Amino acid sequence: MRDIRYRWNKGPTSVGVSNEVSLPQFKVLGHRQRTIEISLSTGNYSRLVCEIQFVRSMGYYLIQIYIPSGLIVIISWVSFWLNRNATPARVPLGVITVLTMTTLMSSTNAALPKISYIKSIDVYLGTCFVMVFASLLEYATVGYMSKRLQMRKNRILALQKLVEQRKSTIADYGRSSTMYSRPSFCGSQYDCDHTPKQTEVRYKYHHDSRYPFRSVTSENTINGRPDEETATVPVNVVHPLHPEKDLNRLYGISPSDIDKYSRIVFPVCFICFNLMYWIIYLHISDVVADDLVLLNPSR
């Protein structure tokens, strides 16, 4: 510092900012002035620094960014109350909310300065995007579990049907052998003509995979006419090796339980995040430098 040294002529009041200064998206909080020394390869140099501190206008960002992004997250929760079989309704709802959130993030970042560090608004928008994307993944999980459960039920029903057909074949074979090996004790032609004939009754099983019921119709194999009575018997789908196992659950949880839990978990997590976000960042925004000359001293 052999050549020249700079200093403020009027001390702390050398720089003044008019109270009428305003910006559309920012408010001028105040300014401060300093005298510093910079070390370069050619030597040390004196510099005068004036810093003006801005705060973002909260009303603009609430209306344009925070409230719309929060509403998009809330809209994504509507899928939790829709039927899990309503794929044409739930999938477009999840995709549209994800795309809308992506567009909002892109337009917001395009209007803000290009900086290398993470801003507070980036944290909020990033969390909203994760919440919306998680709601879409939740339905994918529900659909996958429903498919797995239905495939398991179909396998068990096919196995039960095969076992019943096997039992029916064995029973028919036993009845046929008994009927043909029975001796005749007819004393006269009249007795033989009036001997009650044994009617073999078989059962036809009509199974519809959409309903867990089986329609049983008795058929007289002698005259070929079905009986008038038709009974609907409920089919209990039971695991062949573990009868106590609930076939409506996968890994101890059912698809309906996931939707029920999501209706509570997602709103609670989003509310907790908002509380933490606004408490932390509003406290950070109130921190000002000690030597800052406020534009509005009443602040």
Examine residue 28 and state whether it is found in any structural domain, yes or no: yes
Examine residue 251 and state whether it is found in any structural domain, yes or no: no
Statement: the pTM of the whole predicted model exceeds 0.75: no
Query: How far is residue 84's CA from residue 269's CA, in Å, rounded to a whole number?
Result: 22
Examine residue 187 and state whether it is found in any structural domain, yes or no: no
Examine residue 125 and state whether it is found in any structural domain, yes or no: yes
Examine residue 67 and state whether it is found in any structural domain, yes or no: yes
3-class secondary structure, 79: helix
Provide the domain count of the chain.
3
Q: Outline where DSSP puts E strands in the chain.
A: 26-40, 43-56, 201-207, 213-220, 226-234, 293-294
Query: How far is residue 90's CA from residue 256's CA, in Å, rounded to a whole number?
Result: 15
pLDDT higher than threshold 90 for residue 71:
yes
Q: What's the half-sphere exposure (Cβ side, CA atoms, 13 Å) at 67?
A: 7
Query: How far is residue 155's CA from residue 149's CA, in Å, rounded to a whole number?
Result: 10
Is 65 found in the same domain as 43?
no
pLDDT higher than threshold 90 for residue 24:
no
Q: What is the largest CA-CA distance in the chain?
A: 148
Lowest mean pLDDT among 3-12, 81-90, 128-137, 159-168: 159-168
Q: What's the half-sphere exposure (Cβ side, CA atoms, 13 Å) at 66?
A: 15
Examine residue 108 and state whether it is found in any structural domain, yes or no: yes
Per residue in 136-169, pLDDT tens? 999 888 888 877 777 777 777 777 777 777 777 7
Query: How far is residue 8's CA from residue 267's CA, in Å, rounded to a whole number?
Result: 55
Query: How far is residue 219's CA from residue 202's CA, in Å, rounded to a whole number?
Result: 6
Domain boundary among 148, 167, 186: 148
Is 120 found in the same domain as 104?
yes
Supply φ then ψ for residue 238, to 5 degrees: -125, 140
Other CB atoms closer than 10 Å to residue 142's CB: what's the count? 22
Is 143 found in the same domain as 88?
yes
Is 123 found in the same domain as 203?
no
pLDDT higher than threshold 60 for residue 120:
yes
Supply φ then ψ for residue 57, to 5 degrees: -75, 110
3-class secondary structure, 250: strand
Examine residue 249 and state whether it is found in any structural domain, yes or no: no
Examine residue 122 and state whether it is found in any structural domain, yes or no: yes
pLDDT higher than threshold 70 for residue 94:
yes
pLDDT higher than threshold 90 for residue 98:
yes
3-class SS shares of the chain: helix, strand, coil, % to 5: 50, 20, 30
CATH number, domain of 65, equals 1.20.58.390
- Average pLDDT over all residues of the chain: 75
Parent domain of 208: 199-236
Q: Residue 203 gets which letter from DSSP?
A: E
